[in-house]
Amino acid sequence: QVQLVESGGGLVQPGGSLRLSCVATGRIFGLNQMNWYRQAPGAQRELVAGITSDGTTNYVDSVKGRFTISRDNAKNTVYLQMNSLKPEDTAVYYCNARRISSTYWGQGTQVTVSS
């Protein structure tokens, strides 16, 4: 099994930056796709960014040019660098990892963008 531990959330002013981290432990062999999702109160959980084991990335349109997903395979860690944050980025952010037949979730970390 895989365990995902997230960190880096917090309160930031509009225009500020945060970096989220997700460390994967356990049976991590075979993990390919890793993602960051977010969920605002009363809203659907949405995919924010994804990255494959070979470094291919994708982003939801609303964060393109502001967020960067990356991974450090030696540390089994995935990052989400968030710049130029907006109030609409406020949500609980979840780390996600997928195998062919399994999906794993972190506990979530709160990101609040407010003056």
Residue 18 buriedness (CB in 10 A; 0-12 / 13-18 / 19+)? buried
Q: What is the pLDDT of residue 66?
A: 98
Q: What is the pLDDT of residue 99?
A: 84
Which stretches of the chain score pLDDT less than 50? none
Tokens of 77: 């860690």
Q: What is the pLDDT of residue 1?
A: 84
Q: What is the pLDDT of residue 81?
A: 98
- DSSP structural state of residue 88: G
Q: How many residues does the chain have?
A: 115
